[in-house]
Amino acid sequence: MTLIPFILVGFITIAFATNLVVCKNAVHGALSLVAVLAALAVFFLLLSAEFIFVVQIAVYAGAIMVLFLFVMMLLNVGGSEGLLNENTRWQLWSAVVLAIGLVALIGTRLYSASREILAQLPPAAPEGFGSPQEIGQVLFSDYLLPFELTSLILLAAMVGAVVLAKRRLV
């Protein structure tokens, strides 16, 4: 029953991720990233992880992307139309060849492993797994230092963006 929505959201995710990579305008790329993060949230919803779905939408697709767009607008980041020239075209073609090889390698691995994976039933999650109380308990006890370091890194990035923008304006 969830296979059709999974495939549909998967194709939407791949389309927006491709647009993110090939887009020349930074703001359009950021909006494509918002769509990819929203599609990732839908994957969490399909896995019955409602709390992580809401956190994904609120934190990543909401707050972090607003911060990215704020920094882009503050720094007046534009497109990069003249980025590809004759000296870098070989990099584009080698990247395409490597990407096709990587997709082929992953596809063959998934195909060979799919029979044994599909034959096994997934184990049942323990009671209360993924609940907000359990996530909060683990986050603020076992992962408190990485959580606080992440907030300091985001604060430093925001202060750095304001300093760079102030320097440009003066």
Q: What is the DSSP string of 16-34?
A: HHHHHHH--SHHHHHHHHH
> How much is the pLDDT for 77?
62
User: Tokens for 73?
Assistant: 């607008």
Q: Is 121 helix (H, G, I), strand (E, B) or coil?
A: coil
Q: State the pTM of this model.
A: 0.58
Tell me the C-alpha distance between 122 and 31, whole Å. 35
User: Tokens for 68?
Assistant: 């990215």
pLDDT beneath 70: ranges in the chain: 1, 77-87, 115, 118, 121, 167-170
> How much is the pLDDT for 66?
77
Q: Ramachandran region of residue 78, left (φ > 0), alpha (ψ -120 to 50) or beta?
A: beta
Domain residue spans of the chain: 1-82, 84-119, 131-170
What is the length of the chain? 170
pLDDT in tens, 136-162: 888 889 999 998 998 899 889 888 878
Residue 142 backbone dihedrals phi, psi, to 5 degrees: -80, -35
- The sign of the torsion formed by the CA atoms of 150, 156, 157, 162 equals positive
> How much is the pLDDT for 128?
73
Q: What is the mean pLDDT of the chain?
A: 81
Name all contacts of 46-51 with Cβ < 8 Å and 24+ positions apart: 46/2, 46/5, 46/6, 46/9, 49/130, 51/130, 51/131, 51/132, 51/135
Q: Residue 43: which of 56, 58, 27 has the closest Cα?
A: 56
CATH class of 1-82: mainly alpha
